[in-house]
Amino acid sequence: MAGSPKADAQPQSAETPPREAMSLQEKFVKLREAVPAITQRQHSEGVKYKFAKIFDVYELLTPAMNQYGVNFDIVAEKATRHAENGDPVYYSHFQQNTQRGGLIVWVYEADLTIRWTNADDPEDILEVTLHAIGTNDGGPDKAKGSAWTYCLKYYLFEKFGIDQGDDDPDLTDRGQTAPPPAANRPAAPQNGAAGRNTQPQQQNAQNGHTGASRPLTDAQLSRMYRKGEDAGITQAQINEDIATRYRQQDPHNLTRAQYNEICNRLDAVKKQQGQGGNSNV
C-alpha cells in the first residue's frame, strides 16, 4: 500500500542502473584502467622474494569484470602432442638427478582456448588460443595446475598491461654466465638416455653456475616457445635445437645466457620473415 512503512523502506536507488552500452573492446579499456598495477608480495616464509600470484590479478580484475559485464571462460583444451596411434598426449615425465636422488618430473602441455564475452551482447566475443606448459615433481595434476596458472597469469599481465613494479623474479638473471666453447660442452647422453638429463650437477658446474642456481621457470620457457610460434617454429624444433646446440635434453637446465641467445635468435627469425627471409632457429 502506498505510504506504508514497508513501501517507504524501499529506496529508489536500490535498483541497479543500466550499464552504458559498450563493445567488448571498449570494455577491455575499462578493465585495463581498473588494474593499472599490482604490488608484488612475499607470500610465504619459504620463498624469500616477492612476486605476484594470479589471485592478485583476479582480486582486482574480477570486480571490474562484474561492473562492466565481461565474462571469461576456458572453452577448449587441446593436446599439442599425440601418441603413435593418434591419441592425445597431455602428460609426459622425465627423471632428474638432484641432491635428494632421482626425481620424477611431470610435464603437462596443451593449447588452451579462452573466450571473452560481452555480457550485454553475447554475440560480441573474442577467442584466444594460448600455449600452456608446466612441470612439477608432485604429480601430473600439479603440473597441469602450474601450466594453467603461469599461462593465464602472464597472458593477463600482457593483455591489460599490468605493471608489477619490481622486476619479475621469474625473468631475473640469477648470476648465470655465458656458455662455454662447444669443445668444452659435455657429450650428449648415450644408451637410451635421451629425454632426460643424467648429469645436471656436473653440467651446471661446467656452464659456470653452481647447484644453488635456479633452473629456468615454466614461465620463461613458455615465453621462449611463444616467440617460436610467432616465428613459425614449433616447440619440438626448438627443443631439438637445444639438444643439439647445448646438449640439454631438459630446457629448464639452460643457462640464462643460453636462454637469451635462443630468444634473440627467434626474434631475429621473426624479423627476417617480415622481410621475406627464411625461418631457421
**CA distance linking residue 150 with residue 209, whole number of Å:** 26
Predicted model pTM: 0.55
**CA distance linking residue 31 with residue 70, whole number of Å:** 9
pLDDT above 60 for 11: no
Sorted by sequence, the CB contacts under 8 Å of residue 150 that are 6+ apart come out as 132, 134, 217, 218, 219, 222
Q: What pLDDT digit, counting tens, does each position of 80-137 carry?
A: 999 999 999 999 988 877 777 788 989 999 999 999 999 999 999 999 999 999 999 8
101 or 177: whose pLDDT is higher?
Answer: 101
* Confidence band for 210, pLDDT divided at 50, 70 and 90: very low
pLDDT score recorded for residue 280: 58
**CA distance linking residue 207 with residue 196, whole number of Å:** 18
**CA distance linking residue 193 with residue 119, whole number of Å:** 52
Burial environment of residue 12 by CB neighbours within 10 A (0 to 12, 13 to 18, 19 or more): exposed
Most confident listed range (45-59, 62-76, 155-169, 178-192): 62-76
C-alpha dist (Å) from residue 20 to 15, 30, 60, 239, 245: 15, 12, 21, 49, 56
pLDDT score recorded for residue 43: 60
pLDDT above 60 for 75: yes
pLDDT score recorded for residue 277: 54
Average pLDDT, the chain: 76
pLDDT score recorded for residue 66: 96
Mean pLDDT, range 65-79, rounded to an integer = 96
Q: Percent of the chain scored above 90 by pLDDT?
A: 33
218 or 153: whose pLDDT is higher?
Answer: 153
Asked if 143 and 107 count as a contact pair (C-beta separation under 8 A), the reply is yes
* Confidence band for 46, pLDDT divided at 50, 70 and 90: low
**CA distance linking residue 178 with residue 119, whole number of Å:** 51
pLDDT above 50 for 186: no
Burial environment of residue 77 by CB neighbours within 10 A (0 to 12, 13 to 18, 19 or more): middle
pLDDT score recorded for residue 8: 47
Q: Residue 128, CB half-sphere, CA atoms under 13 Å: how many? A: 13
pLDDT score recorded for residue 82: 93
How many other CB atoms sit within 10 Å of the CB of residue 70? 21
**CA distance linking residue 251 with residue 48, whole number of Å:** 25
